[in-house]
Amino acid sequence: MLFGKHVNRYYLKYLWLFIFGIAALIAVDYIQLFIPKYLGEVVDILQTNGDTNRIFTLGFYVLAVAGGMFLGRFLWRVTLFNAAFRIEADMRHKMFLKAEALPRQYYHDNKVGSVMSWFTNDLETISDYFGWGTVMIIDSLFLSVITVIEMIRLDFVMSIICFLPVILIIIWGAITEKYMALKWEQRQKAYDELYDFSQENFTGIRVIKAFVKETKEIHAFAKVAKKNADVNVSFARLSVIFDVVIEIIIATMLAIVLIFGGWFVYLFNHDQTFIFFGYEEKITASKLVEFIGYMDILIWPMIALGQVVPMRSRSKASLKRISAFLDSEITVHSPKNAIKLDEVKGNISYRNFNFKYPTYEAINLKNINLDIKAGESVGVVGKIGSGKTTLVNVLLMLYNVEPDTLFIDGHDIMSLDIDSLRDHIAYVPQDNFLFSDSIEHNINFGLENGTEETARMGAIFAGVDDDVRCFNKGYQTISGERGVTLSGGQKQRISIARAYVRNAPILILDDSVSAVDTKTEETILRNITNERKGKTTLVVASRISTVNHLDKIIVLNDGEVEAFDSPKNLLKISPTYQKMVKLQELESEVEGGKK
């Protein structure tokens, strides 16, 4: 069986299915032992009086046994495979919840392709072991034991002859198990790389086509696929060698039984005896037929024993990978006795705030001191890499921050319940991700009971309503994977609409109007001013025109606050802001000259 802290509880949870299935399986194993007895008796009858009535009776018994085996096999398949599929579903659900709880950093360190292979290949491997693996283990143990008992009862010498190959099978399985587990783990890692490469290329297919790099990527894929094929061939070669050795041992055992059994029958029919360590061997033709029948039954448990070894090796390797995923530390979580925010005004305070990403040594934000009052609209500007996105992202608790340095309405953010915190913040990220769903559902994603009317209100706010109405299906238009059917500006505006309809006390726009024209940008910014009065709005921007109408602007320079004031005052006190304004004016003049 397969044991580990992430699977042990399922034996108890689905105990009734396992008990019922194993009971049906054992019943099938037991009743099929009657068939060799009936066959042996038929041979006896044919050699003696030829009682045809008894032969017909035995034929009826065989049919009854076959019917019982059919019913029993139906029952154990329904129960054991049902348990296996339920375990797979439970583990996948548990893994999904874990995937949602893991911090963003985890997905920086582990590619999506690898994670997806754990949800598919590895889970299916474990499910197979709980299903077929259980069948093989019970058959290789129970069926082999009761068959061997019957064989010993029938003929001790012939049984001893059969036991020697069985011992060889057990030794061979023990030798190869660990090596096969290692090979399977290598195979899964190679599959992860193939999955990662494919997923990345499918996601970036437009870039590949735009740069005419199809041939280059095909050659690169061929190398990854070749590595995957080589590892799979290596594993298959080992599996085939394992199976071939088992088959050779079984065939050898059958040949030995036929040779020695035939010789013993010949000696018996000629009134000769064979002495084996004081045991006088006497076997008739009917006993030999019965013994061969038991031998035929014993072949499957031996094959099962051979197959369950590599299957167990594979499932152990897969469970190891899944366990590593499930044991990953959730570094960002709500503290004990966390404060749940029922109502948020929107005051934000940074006090001697410093921040660096977990995998980087450099400090991204240094000694930040800011007080953003509830209801203010605040812009965030600065050079590329100055920390603009980081400054607003930390409000969402995507990463842990130092205690007593960041506050929402006077509450230390590290003391808050994460869900309640995020529930009061609407966020439009730089990467405008849309689901492959209707535009209506994409806009209403953050609402429990959104309607087309709420989606239309959000679209009007974001200046995308006219665009949506031009589509054939309007708000029921499917956006495609990651919004592939929409333009960059349309995706940005739909993302803004999705954030707006939540009516959150804090709204964060992270460079969210960079892909729209100036007129649409003015419409969105005007709507923010008019419709979000009394609510806090943070707008990260690369263009000064995006934020120069807001109440205040934060100017960042190399991770530090250079200035925080109104746009008018910044022209006097902030060199970075002055430079950005002059550059934008110069760009406008150049564009005007071209016209």
- Examine domains 334-424+506-519+533-595 and 430-503 and report if their fold is the same: yes
- Alpha helix ranges (H) inside 463-507: 465-470, 488-500
User: Of how many residues is the chain composed?
Assistant: 595
Could you tell me which CATH number the domain at 8-326 has?
Answer: 1.20.1560.10
Closest by CA position to 173, among listed 245, 234, 221: 245
- Helix (H) / strand (E) containing 105: helix 104-109
Closest by CA position to 85, among listed 35, 21, 131, 147: 131
Instruction: State the pLDDT at residue 487.
Output: 77
Closest by CA position to 507, among listed 517, 498, 518, 520: 498
Alpha-carbon gap, residue 231 to 67, rounded angstroms: 44
Q: Give just the sign of the alpha carbon dihedral 434, 435, 439, 441.
A: negative
Main-chain phi, psi angles of 528, to 5 degrees: -60, -45
Closest by CA position to 423, among listed 488, 353, 349, 499: 499
Mapped onto helix, strand or coil, the DSSP state of residue 550 is coil
Alpha-carbon gap, residue 179 to 183, rounded angstroms: 6
Which residues of the chain, if any, have pLDDT below 50? 593, 595
Architecture of domain 334-424+506-519+533-595: 3-Layer(aba) Sandwich (3.40)
Instruction: State the pLDDT at residue 27.
Output: 92
- Alpha helix ranges (H) inside 270-378: 285-326
E strands within 360-424? 365-372, 377-382, 406-408, 411-412
Residue with tokens 């077929």: 132
**In terms of DSSP bridges, do strands 411-412 and 279-281 run parallel, antiparallel, or are they unpaired?**
unpaired
Q: Which fold has domain 430-503?
A: Rossmann fold (3.40.50)
Beta-ladder partners of 537: 377, 507
Closest by CA position to 511, among listed 495, 526, 531: 495
Beta-ladder partners of 113: none
What do you get for the CA distance between the two ends of the chain, in Å?
Answer: 77
Alpha-carbon gap, residue 521 to 357, rounded angstroms: 32
- Helix (H) / strand (E) containing 391: helix 388-393
Largest Cα separation within the chain, whole Å, is 123
For residue 505, give the amino acid letter.
P
Main-chain phi, psi angles of 43, to 5 degrees: -65, -40
Alpha-carbon gap, residue 158 to 276, rounded angstroms: 11
Alpha-carbon gap, residue 524 to 530, rounded angstroms: 10
Extract the tokens encoding 23.
Answer: 């009971």
Instruction: State the pLDDT at residue 278.
Output: 60
Extract the tokens encoding 578.
Answer: 């002055």
Instruction: State the pLDDT at residue 276.
Output: 62
Domain boundaries, the chain: 8-326, 334-424+506-519+533-595, 430-503
Extract the tokens encoding 485.
Answer: 């059917």
Give burial (CB, 10 Å; 0-12/13-18/19+) of 142: middle
The reported pTM is 0.73
DSSP string, 182-237: HHHHHHHHHHHHHHHHHHHHHHTHHHHHHTT-HHHHHHHHHHHHHHHHHHHHHHHH
